[in-house]
Structure 1
Amino acid sequence: MRIIDIHPHIISDDATRYPPAPLFGKRSDWSQERPCTVDALIAAMDEAGVDKAAVVHSSTTYGFDNSYVVDGCNLFPDRLIAVGSVDVAAGDAVPVIRGWVDKGLKGLRIFTGGSTKDFDPTELENPAAYPAWEVLGELGVPMCIQTGPIGLPQVTDLAKRFPKVNIILDHLGRPDVLDGPPYANADSLFALADIPNIYLKLTPRIFGDVKKEKASAETFFPKVAAAFGANRMAWGSNFPTSPGTLADILATAKAGLASLSEADQQWIFGKTAQTLYPALAD
């Protein structure tokens, strides 16, 4: 089975060439404690048996400067593509997006909160960002969104307003699954299933949550696959943000999805990624 990772990160060891300038003014702990250069990522991928990756820019290290993720991925064009971040509400967002795409960027991400800031979904409802979304649809560039359940109404609006843009929900939107079957606390996630341009990114967070309290991988992931289809689910390692080796993170994901059919697993571990990022299919 071909393995493609759509959520690793890279951090340069050259702070002069790529100076940190974190979004919200606070740099993430992980980027300082366990940084991973592009060369180290390739080595980890080789060890783990990961064929290709869509590398996600670290907003909590570099803000809106995508230089390292673009430069790093361009060093390994047969293995990596870059997913970056821009200020989509800025007046120059459209030419900035076009400029980064010309340099090799294949996807974008909106970081509304996480390890360094509480979630603020207001960024997702700003009409000033609509021109940026229009150009994403024109260029065929997907958008990852990092938010919690609080932002899912805004995600729904964007998905319906811009049906040509595939939206990838980081960490499944961090659903509450601890109540167990039928997972009523995650109703806001399952309410998105009928919106065809919303995709789900499965990362270590959800593989950890399904081991807690009343949840289980055997009851949760089949429900997600039945609702959304495995062709709208893709695996992302969150390496090195999540602790552990890439090989260990992949092994945990494989164990968590073992109850799904082989065909579904092929979609989640590779084919969906190639749908979202056609450059990974080469």
Structure 2
Amino acid sequence: MDIIDTHCHVIAEDREQYPWSPIGGKASAWATSRPVTTEDMAARMDEAGILQSVLVQATTAYGYNNSYVRDSAAAHPERFLAVGTFDPLAAAAPERLALALQGQGLAGVRLFTSGSTVPTQGEWFAAPETYPFWRAAAELDVTVCLQLRLGAATGQLVDVLERFPTVRVLLDHIGYPDIAAGPARAGKEVAELAGHPGLHLKLTHRNLEPLHAVGEEAIEFLTPVVESFGAGRIAWGSNLPAAEQSLPELVDLARTVLAPLPAAARQEIFAGTARRLYSSLGRLGS
């Protein structure tokens, strides 16, 4: 099966060339305890049978300095493309976005509004001051990865999607729905967002681990989500090395949980959706 990883992180050994400046002032534990360089990532991809990967900025190491993911993608254009963290509140955000995409080699951008080192969910991504950014993102036809937690930020997410219906948003970790508390309820919560056509879901180990843990009940989450969004709006990402497992183990986890889905749906989730989210993936290595 063709596999593209839409969510993995790389950390350079050289901290002088690539200094750390984590958002929130605190680095994530995984970045310090089990970093993976670009070269290491390529080797692990070979071991796992992964053709191409999207290097998502390690925000809790480098903050808004996207140099390493940009340089990594430039050095290995046949294997990688880069998604960098972006500040939509900064001055001249539309112009900066265009430069990042057209002059600095980014294939997409990420807004990091909540995470392991940013425990309070930020609502700033939907503030009126960000509207020029969202308008530019739609005009530039760029995929915007959005790291947030549903519940705390669902209202703001819906506001953005309603104001900018043509913008393409890829929701990191599906917004961390509480699958453990009830797969059916979590599935319904996510499925209710499917009416916004620009919203896509990034399925990672943050979701696959709890789905695996609930066993046969996993289908109670998968069925409403896949039926409402369609597999063509869902993309798999490993989240290595934030995920502790090896890359082959993460691929096997996804295959196991998604086994009840039709083969065509699994192919969309593992590769087809990624190629539509990032059109340059189809040209890498060609």
The TM-score with structure 1 as length reference comes to 0.95
Residues 185, 268 of structure 1: CA spacing in aligned structure 2 closer, same or farther, 3 A cutoff? closer
Q: Which residue in 2 is equivalent to 1:42? A: 42
Following the alignment from structure 2 to structure 1, what is the Cα–Cα distance between the partners of residues 93 and 12? 25
Following the alignment from structure 1 to structure 2, what is the Cα–Cα distance between the partners of residues 214 and 76? 39
- Kindly indicate whether residue 8 of structure 2 is the aligned counterpart of residue 8 of structure 1: yes
Following the alignment from structure 1 to structure 2, what is the Cα–Cα distance between the partners of residues 178 and 32? 28
Q: Considering only aligned residues, what root-mean-square deviation do their CA atoms show, in Å?
A: 1.5
8 Å contact 1:119–1:148 — kept in the other structure?
A: no
Q: Which residue in 2 is equivalent to 1:163? A: 165
8 Å contact 2:12–2:68 — kept in the other structure?
A: yes
Q: Which residue in 1 is equivalent to 2:64? A: 64
Q: Deviations over 1:139-189 (max 9, x none)?
A: 1111111111111211111112122221011111111123445x2245432
8 Å contact 1:90–1:128 — kept in the other structure?
A: no
Per mean C-alpha deviation after superposition, the further-off stretch among 263-272 and 151-160 is 151-160
8 Å contact 2:66–2:85 — kept in the other structure?
A: yes
| Gap runs ≥5 in structure 2 | none
8 Å contact 2:187–2:220 — kept in the other structure?
A: no
Following the alignment from structure 1 to structure 2, what is the Cα–Cα distance between the partners of residues 194 and 185? 16
Q: Which residue in 1 is equivalent to 2:136? A: 135
Per mean C-alpha deviation after superposition, the further-off stretch among 55-64 and 134-143 is 134-143
Per mean C-alpha deviation after superposition, the further-off stretch among 196-205 and 160-169 is 160-169
Per mean C-alpha deviation after superposition, the further-off stretch among 40-49 and 118-127 is 118-127
Report the Cα offset of residue 193 of structure 1.
Answer: 1.1
8 Å contact 2:22–2:61 — kept in the other structure?
A: yes
Following the alignment from structure 1 to structure 2, what is the Cα–Cα distance between the partners of residues 16 and 121? 30
Aligned length: 281
Aligned partner of residue 35 in structure 2, secondary structure? coil
| Gap runs ≥5 in structure 1 | none
Q: How does 1:91-106 map to 2 (within 5 A)?
A: 91-101=91-101, 102-106=103-107
8 Å contact 2:234–2:269 — kept in the other structure?
A: yes
Following the alignment from structure 1 to structure 2, what is the Cα–Cα distance between the partners of residues 3 and 10? 19
Aligned partner of residue 212 in structure 2, secondary structure? coil
8 Å contact 2:187–2:221 — kept in the other structure?
A: no
Q: Which residue in 2 is equivalent to 1:264? A: 265
Q: What is the percent sequence identity of the aligned residues?
A: 38
Q: How does 1:49-198 map to 2 (within 5 A)?
A: 49-101=49-101, 102-149=103-150, 150-180=152-182, 183-198=184-199
Report the Cα offset of residue 205 of structure 1.
Answer: 1.1
Following the alignment from structure 2 to structure 1, what is the Cα–Cα distance between the partners of residues 216 and 93? 41
Following the alignment from structure 2 to structure 1, what is the Cα–Cα distance between the partners of residues 115 and 153? 12
- Amino acid across the alignment from 1:151: A
Report the Cα offset of residue 95 of structure 1.
Answer: 2.5
Following the alignment from structure 1 to structure 2, what is the Cα–Cα distance between the partners of residues 137 and 43? 35
Report the Cα offset of residue 24 of structure 1.
Answer: 0.8
Following the alignment from structure 1 to structure 2, what is the Cα–Cα distance between the partners of residues 44 and 214? 28
8 Å contact 1:86–1:96 — kept in the other structure?
A: no
Residues 43, 109 of structure 1: CA spacing in aligned structure 2 closer, same or farther, 3 A cutoff? same
8 Å contact 1:152–1:189 — kept in the other structure?
A: no
Residues 179, 31 of structure 1: CA spacing in aligned structure 2 closer, same or farther, 3 A cutoff? closer
The TM-score with structure 2 as length reference comes to 0.94
Q: Which residue in 1 is equivalent to 2:26? A: 26
Aligned partner of residue 211 in structure 1, secondary structure? helix
Report the Cα offset of residue 213 of structure 1.
Answer: 5.1
